[in-house]
């Protein structure tokens, strides 16, 4: 037995009874440490609190966190080429997982086999439903990109935006807007407000004129738009009064509105869902892979995903976790109304068509950049 | 001295010619110098030059197509992309074998991503085709199996196609495994690497080739045993094609065992129901029924491609030659121009702002100048991101500068200046960030200019301006040169500041490079853009050397 093994064995003995009550199956031939990659910040903290700390307390496994999710795909490709995979588990968004899966950099998994069934008895595949976007993906949370607006704009004369298309309504809602410097989401929103039905979106976009039509709609507010490339920019601009409305991630708006009490409110109309989840790098040695699978079984069960919502306003990807979502760990705010997956917030929503974007990203991006530069 | 010694080579004391002796001494000296820098040189070569060279090499590298689709790349050469028809059965059969092998190695989606850079839609097309390709050839498999159930037997296939020596090795391996199993010992010995039977490969070239890929894939994938798995359906397609192509005499050259299996099959294939490959591919996706996709594969099948460089200058490689990108997608030339023009503007702003400060620093009493120098260096030591964010606070429309201007009454509240998220923002923030790189070389050069020269000029009747312009300034030019080169080269590759304060009109080419490295993963294009940027910098450096002379540059 290695020194580390001894340590973890003594840690096990010393554990309080409460933690032991949670019976974790033993892990055979498993590594004693894990390198987990995530986004840093509040989101990573929520993962540490909800899954990693309880797991470490029960098993004595040591975690190393790497805040590289932003460039995970590029780094994993480089690691793969160098033949030295140093990461055990990587947190990525849906489209990135598709890329990793396509490139053979992420391991294909059968989630019904490796994950726990839902508390309500549903199989993982039923429980995670739409969030399983490909064969490599193990979803955790649903987040959305949506709109925040200032509540004290004098020129609006008391009107408040109640739907997405207020974005394009410069007459009733004058002022600067903040939008992401990428075509994704923007062109879908533009088409929705140009009268395209949700179901027809990608059919329209696939035609020659589709993208042009979306850009023409965006043209109407182009002069009033400031573009962002980091998620923190819109909340900052809203708080500073630099813009009157803008798109960003719902968790960011939660912190501006609830935690910082700024004169800002948010719209859930046509929020664009995206998923955040784990992928396992292809080519892990057996003991590390065993450890990762053992951890994942624990970290993605119904209770753990519900626990995560105590620390961040992103919705659990499991349907069975929804009823267990409780209050914020520090603020004591009821979290359910702030979840993108809350039925009340989910009346109109979009999910990006990952396949369409994988095919068309290059051209649309080039077209969009050229349009921005005009 | 005699005539002979005067015209002959000059000799050193030991009798060797002086020139050679001198060279030897110098060589030893050079070698010693080289030994001294060797660790650093090796370090730089390994950690800096080699990775960059490797990265730049990706701008032309295109092996992925011919590595993933070797048979297709070969077969499609003869196809005329202007024929209006997709390629025939030979190419389709080759493509089927290539694809199934690629699917097994999970390479087909990677290839799809690569080819999607050239033509939209290929990414999902390859993913979709990868799911369907394993079924192609099933009709033949069933027909062969109906003829003789032996054709479904993995062991018989392996026996037929393997070299006799491999069969012997394999038998020994199986015996060892059986022995271990009865003794209850763990057995982790890998299956011996598959070797092909050359005689059979002569007679049935396509099938042998496909089977070899199959055996390798099985062995590569968690060390499986080819003799324990029936081949992929596409291998039966290859067998059918081989058997319909050869005469009966070829089979007679094989051993009796193979003849017993192949003779009836050879006779029977003539009456086999044929699978229409073109129709099968059209069913998978109608894109395969059109020549465009095939033309893209054909165009990009060579191992090296100018494609990335062409894209980097807003051109495009098509089967019919090089064409210009559609006007509404041209961005790179414009970005290169913008990067150069703005870097020059930033450089000029740095000279204008830095020169007086450096002059003050060099000419004030030491105590005051030290204080000033600290003021110059303080921001230099502050994090780049902090400084950039500070500029956001200052420059935005509801920011400090606009607030002050409105308060003083210079601009009115509705007409607040737009100082950020455009080129102005980038120029202001980058000038501030790069200013120390201009001031420091200027300062160290000015420090060395003796004040007596200006005094001498003045004593000879020069005005202040003449003394400065004719005497002082020319001596400070080496500092300006050094500062300009530093600032310009740093500016041209700047990335984070333009990204944060540049909005849409103030971003540089490096922002696109970063996008292609970390987001779109088009490393080839990123490498091409990087190579061009490097070439531009080197060309400008060379021009500077020709015009001003690099020896005139002085870092102090």
Report the residue of chain B nearest A228, measured CA to CA.
Answer: B503
- State pLDDT tens for residues B255-270: 888 889 999 999 999 8
Question: How many CA within 13 A on the CB side of residue B396?
Answer: 21
Q: Does A135 touch chain B (CB under 8 A)?
A: no
Cβ atoms of residues B420 and B503 within 8 Å: yes
Q: What are the distances in angstroms from CA A303 to CA A39, A51, A153, A312, B414?
A: 22, 10, 42, 15, 53
Q: Does A367 touch chain B (CB under 8 A)?
A: yes
Q: What is the pLDDT of residues A80-93, one digit of tens each?
A: 988 999 999 999 99
Q: How confident is the model at residue B556 (pLDDT cuts 50, 70, 90)?
A: low
In a mutagenesis test of the A interface, which of B421, B425, B506 is the best target, namely the one with the most A β-carbons within 10 Å? B421
Q: What residue of B is the nearest CA neighbor of A244?
A: B398
Three-state DSSP at B468 gives: helix
Distance from B189 to chain A by nearest Cα, in Å? Answer: 17
Q: Which of A71, A101, A242 sits opposite B397 (nearest CB)?
A: A242
Tell me what ipTM this predicted complex has.
0.84
The Cα–Cα gap between B458 and A63 comes to 72
| Contact between chains at B331 and A366 (C-beta distance less than 8 A) | yes
CB A54 within 8 A of CB A241: no
DSSP letter for B305, please.
Answer: -
Any CB–CB contact under 8 A between B328 and chain A? yes
Q: Which of residues 87-106 of B touch A (CB under 8 A)?
A: 105-106
Distances (CA, A) of B549 to A131, B205, B297, B395: 62, 65, 49, 39
* Alpha carbon distance, N-terminus to C-terminus of chain A: 66
What is the average per-residue pLDDT within B381-409?
91
pLDDT greater than 70 at residue B554:
no
B499: closest chain A residue by CA: A229
Q: What pLDDT does residue B544 have?
A: 84
Radius of gyration, CA atoms only, chain A? 22
Name beta bridge partners: A178. A226, A246
* pLDDT tier at A22, thresholds 50, 70, 90: low
Please tell me the pTM assigned to this model: 0.86
From chain A, the residues in CB contact with B521 under 8 A are 73-74, 77, 99, 103
Position A24 pLDDT exceeds 90: no
May I ask the CATH class of domain B332-552?
mainly alpha
Q: Which residue, among B68, B190, B88, has the nearest Cα to B129 in the 3D structure?
A: B68
* Range B124-133 average pLDDT: 90
Q: Do B109 and A70 touch (CB under 8 A)?
A: no
**Interchain contact B278–A (C-beta under 8 A):** no
Task: Lowest mean pLDDT of A21-35, A278-292, B226-240, name the range.
Answer: A21-35
CA distance B330 to chain A (A): 6
Res B215: pLDDT: 92
Q: Please say whether the beta carbons of A327 and B289 come within 8 A.
A: no
Helices (H), B221-331: 233-245, 248-251, 256-268, 277-284, 291-299, 307-312
Element (H, E) at B316: strand B315-318
Residues of chain A with C-beta less than 8 angstroms from the C-beta of B120: 359-360, 362-363
pLDDT of residue B520: 82
pLDDT at position B1? 46
- At CA B252, angle to CA B248 and CA B256, rounded to 5? 130
Q: Which residues in chain A are closer than 8 Å to B293, comparing Cβ atoms?
A: none
Nearest CA-CA distance, residue B307 and chain A, Å: 15
Is some CB atom of chain B closer than 8 A to the CB atom of A120? no
**Closest CB to B110 among A104, A355, A363:** A104
SS (H, E, C) chain A: CCHHHHHHHHHHHHCCHHHHHCCCCCCCCCCCEEEEECCCHHHHHHHHHHHHHHHHHHHCCEEEEECCHHHHHHHHHHHHHHCCCCCCEEEEEHHHHHHHHHCCCECCCCHHHHCCCCCCCCCHHHHHHHHCCCCCCEEEEEEEEEEEEECCCHHHCCCCCCCHHHHHCCCCCCCCEEEECCCCCHHHHHHHHCCCCHHHHHHHHHCCCHHHHHHHHHHHHHCCEEEECCCCHHHHHHHHCCCCEEEEEHHHHHHHHHHCCCCEEEEEEEEEEEEEEEECECCCCHHHHHHHHHHHHHHCCHHHHHHHCCCCCCEECCHHHHHHCCECCCCCCECHHHCCCCHHHCCCEEECCHHHHHHHHHHHHHHHHHHHHC
Shortest distance, CA A102 to any CA of chain B (angstroms): 5
Average pLDDT over residues A283-309: 94
3-state SS assignment for residue B17: strand
What is the arithmetic mean of pLDDT over A67-91?
92
Q: Among A343, A318, A337, A348, which Cα is nearest to A250's?
A: A337
Q: How far apart are CA B3 and CA A321, in angstroms?
A: 107
Asked whether the beta carbons of B261 and B163 are under 8 A apart, the reply is no
Which band of pLDDT confidence, cut at 50, 70 and 90, is reported for residue A9? very low
* Segment 353-412 of chain B within 8 Å of chain A by CB: 392, 396-399
pLDDT confidence of A19, banded at 50, 70, 90? very low
Kind and range of the H or E run holding B447: helix B423-447
Distance (Å, whole) CA A259 – CA A84 = 42
Q: Is A223 on the interface with B (CB under 8 A)?
A: no
pLDDT digits (tens, 9 = 90+) for B288-335: 999 999 999 999 999 999 999 999 999 999 988 999 998 888 899 999
Query: Can you list the domains of chain A with their CATH numbers?
Result: 3-136+280-338 (3.40.190.10), 151-271+352-373 (3.40.190.10)
For residue B63, the distance in angstroms to the closest alpha carbon of chain A comes to 15
* Helices B89-104/B233-245 angle, 10° precision: 150
Tens-digit pLDDT profile for residues A249-274 = 999 999 899 988 999 999 999 999 99
| B518/A contact by beta carbon, under 8 A | yes
The answer to whether B155 contacts chain A (CB < 8 Å) is no
Which residues are bridge partners to A350 per DSSP? A272
Closest residue of B to A178, CA-based? B503
pLDDT digits (tens, 9 = 90+) for B66-122: 999 999 999 999 999 998 899 999 999 999 999 999 998 888 988 998 999 998 889
B522 in contact with chain A, both atoms CB, cutoff 8 A: yes
Cβ neighbours of B504 in A, within 8 Å: 181, 227, 372-373
> With the C-alpha atoms ordered B364, B366, B371, B374, is the resulting torsion angle positive or negative?
positive
As a whole number of angstroms, the longest Cα–Cα distance in chain B is 114
> In this model, does residue B51 exceed pLDDT 50?
yes
Taking only the tens place, the pLDDT of each residue in B163-205 is 999 999 999 999 999 999 998 888 888 888 899 999 889 999 9
- Whether A240 contacts chain B with CB within 8 A: yes
Q: Mind listing the pLDDT tens digit for each residue in B469-505?
A: 999 999 999 899 889 999 999 999 999 899 989 888 8
* Yes or no, beta carbons of A73 and B521 under 8 Å apart: yes
Residue ranges per domain, chain B? Answer: 16-56, 65-135+276-305, 138-271, 332-552
Q: How far is CA A325 from its chain centroid?
A: 17
Residues of chain A neighbouring B330 (CB-CB closer than 8 A) = 370
- pLDDT for B555 equals 62
């Amino acid at each position: 037995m290695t020194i580390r093994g001894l340590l973890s064995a003594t840690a096990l003995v010393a554990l309080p009874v409460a933690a032991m009550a949670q019976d974790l199956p033993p892990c055979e031939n498993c590594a004693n440490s894990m390198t987990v990659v995530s986004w840093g910040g509040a989101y990573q903290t929520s993962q540490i609190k909800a899954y990693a700390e309880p797991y470490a307390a029960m098993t004595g496994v040591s975690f190393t966190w790497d805040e590289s999710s932003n460039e995970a795909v590029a780094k994993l490709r480089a690691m793969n080429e160098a033949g030295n995979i140093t990461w055990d588990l990587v947190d990525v968004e849906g489209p990135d997982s598709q890329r990793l899966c396509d490139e053979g950099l992420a391991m294909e998994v059968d989630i019904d086999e490796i994950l726990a069934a839902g508390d309500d008895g549903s199989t993982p595949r039923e429980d995670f439903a739409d969030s399983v976007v490909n064969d490599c993906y193990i979803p955790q949370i649903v987040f959305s990109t949506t709109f925040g607006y200032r509540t004290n704009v004098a020129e609006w004369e008391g009107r408040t935006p109640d739907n997405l298309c207020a974005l394009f309504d410069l007459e009733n809602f004058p002022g600067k807007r903040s939008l992401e410097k990428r075509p994704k989401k923007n062109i879908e929103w533009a088409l929705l407000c140009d009268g395209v039905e949700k179901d027809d979106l990608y059919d329209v976009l696939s035609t020659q004129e589709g993208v042009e039509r979306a850009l023409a709609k965006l043209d109407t507010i182009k002069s009033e738009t400031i573009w962002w490339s980091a998620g923190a920019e819109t909340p900052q601009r809203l708080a500073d009064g630099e813009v009157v409305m803008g798109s960003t991630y719902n968790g960011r708006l939660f912190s501006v509105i609830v935690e910082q009490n700024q004169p800002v409110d948010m719209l859930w109309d046509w929020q664009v869902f995206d998923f955040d989840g784990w992928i396992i790098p292809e080519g892990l040695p057996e003991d590390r892979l065993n450890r990762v699978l053992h951890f994942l079984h624990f970290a993605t069960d119904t209770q753990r995903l519900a626990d995560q919502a105590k620390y961040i306003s992103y919705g659990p990807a499991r349907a069975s976790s929804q009823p267990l979502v409780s209050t914020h760990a520090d603020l004591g705010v009821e979290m359910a109304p702030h979840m993108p997956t809350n039925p009340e917030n989910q009346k109109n929503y979009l999910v990006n068509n990952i396949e369409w974007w994988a095919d068309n990203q290059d051209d649309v991006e080039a077209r969009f950049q050229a349009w921005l530069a005009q | 001295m005699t005539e002979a010694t005067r015209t002959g080579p000059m000799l050193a004391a030991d009798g060797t010619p002086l020139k050679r002796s001198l060279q030897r001494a110098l060589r030893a000296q050079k070698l010693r110098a080289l030994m001294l820098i060797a660790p650093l040189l090796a370090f730089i070569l390994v950690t800096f030059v080699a990775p960059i060279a490797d990265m730049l090499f990706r701008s032309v590298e295109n092996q992925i197509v011919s590595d993933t689709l070797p048979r297709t790349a070969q077969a499609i050469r003869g196809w005329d992309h202007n024929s209006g028809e997709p390629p025939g059965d030979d190419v389709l059969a080759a493509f089927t074998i290539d694809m199934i092998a690629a699917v097994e190695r999970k390479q087909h989606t990677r290839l799809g991503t690569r080819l999607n850079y050239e033509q939209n839609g290929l990414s999902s097309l390859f993913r979709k085709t990868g799911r369907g390709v394993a079924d192609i050839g099933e009709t033949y498999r069933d027909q062969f199996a109906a003829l003789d159930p032996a054709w479904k037997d993995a062991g018989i296939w392996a026996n037929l196609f393997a070299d006799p020596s491999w069969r012997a090795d394999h038998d020994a391996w199986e015996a060892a495994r059986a022995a271990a199993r009865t003794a209850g010992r763990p057995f982790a010995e890998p299956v011996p690497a598959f070797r092909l039977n050359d005689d059979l490969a002569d007679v049935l070239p396509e099938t042998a080739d496909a089977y070899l890929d199959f055996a390798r894939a099985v062995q590569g994938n968690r060390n499986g045993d080819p003799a324990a798995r029936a081949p992929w359906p596409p291998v039966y397609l290859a067998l059918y094609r081989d058997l319909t192509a050869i005469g009966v005499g070829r089979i007679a050259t094989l051993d009796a065992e193979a003849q017993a299996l192949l003779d009836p099959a050879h006779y029977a294939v003539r009456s086999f129901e044929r699978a229409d490959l073109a129709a099968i591919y059209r069913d998978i996706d109608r894109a395969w029924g059109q020549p465009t996709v095939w033309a893209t594969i054909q165009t990009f099948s060579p191992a090296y491609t100018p494609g990335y460089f062409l894209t980097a200058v807003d051109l495009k490689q098509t089967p019919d030659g090089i064409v210009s990108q559609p006007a509404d997608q041209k961005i790179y030339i414009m970005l290169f121009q913008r990067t150069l023009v703005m870097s020059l503007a930033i450089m000029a702003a740095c000279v204008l702002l830095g020169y007086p400060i450096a002059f003050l620093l060099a000419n004030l009493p030491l105590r005051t100048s030290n204080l000033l120098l600290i003021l110059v260096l303080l921001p230099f030591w502050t994090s780049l991101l902090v400084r950039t964010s500070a500029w956001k606070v200052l420059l935005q429309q509801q920011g400090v500068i606009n607030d002050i201007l409105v308060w003083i009454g210079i601009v009115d509240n509705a007409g607040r200046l737009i100082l950020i998220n455009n080129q102005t923002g980038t120029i202001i923030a980058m000038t501030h960030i790069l200013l120390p790189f201009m001031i420091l070389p200027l300062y160290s050069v000015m420090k060395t200019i003796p004040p007596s020269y200006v005094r001498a000029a003045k004593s000879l009747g020069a005005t202040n301006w003449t003394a400065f312009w004719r005497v002082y300034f020319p001596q400070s030019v080496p500092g300006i040169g050094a500062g300009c080169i530093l600032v310009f080269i740093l500016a041209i590759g700047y990335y984070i500041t333009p990204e944060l304060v540049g909005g849409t009109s103030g971003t540089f080419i490096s922002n696109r490079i970063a996008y292609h490295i970390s987001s779109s993963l088009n490393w080839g294009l990123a490498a091409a853009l990087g190579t061009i940027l490097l070439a531009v910098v080197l060309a400008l450096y060379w021009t500077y050397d020709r015009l001003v002379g690099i020896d005139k540059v002085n870092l102090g």
